[in-house]
Amino acid sequence: MLRANQAEAEQRQWYHFRAHRFLRLKFKRQHQCGPYIADFICMAFKLVIEVDGGQHGAEVDAKRDAWFQREGYRVLRFWNHDVMGNTEAVLEKVREVLLELGFVDTPALSPDASPASGRGEQTVAKRGPSS
């Protein structure tokens, strides 16, 4: 049951991170970093995000976190139940840390911003007659 819950929590988190959905940043899922596999990683800001269930041990997690930190990564850990029950707070914490790491948030990049020209539309400049 824990494994299924973790998979569900990771899937929910991935829904928000995949395809540049979150702040238009690229996140990778299950990415190999040295001897470890990060649940999620934003390489541009060296941010690792782990989604933990009850099977995780503090000693093992501390060793992983120390390795990532030595390599220059910032590590955020969230419990499955936080991802499942309070997704918006989890995403807000990720955004806050990205701002600390130098990300510049603008209204155009916020998750709630509407596209200026409508959904799925592109504006194409047309040329007038040549002189």
pLDDT tens-digit series, residues 15-72: 999 999 999 999 999 999 999 999 999 999 999 999 998 766 889 999 999 999 999 9
pTM value?
0.76
pLDDT at 1: 39
Topology of domain 2-109, CATH: Endonuclease; Chain A (3.40.960)
Instruction: Check pLDDT > 90 for residue 102.
Output: yes
Calpha distance 51→6 (Å, rounded): 7
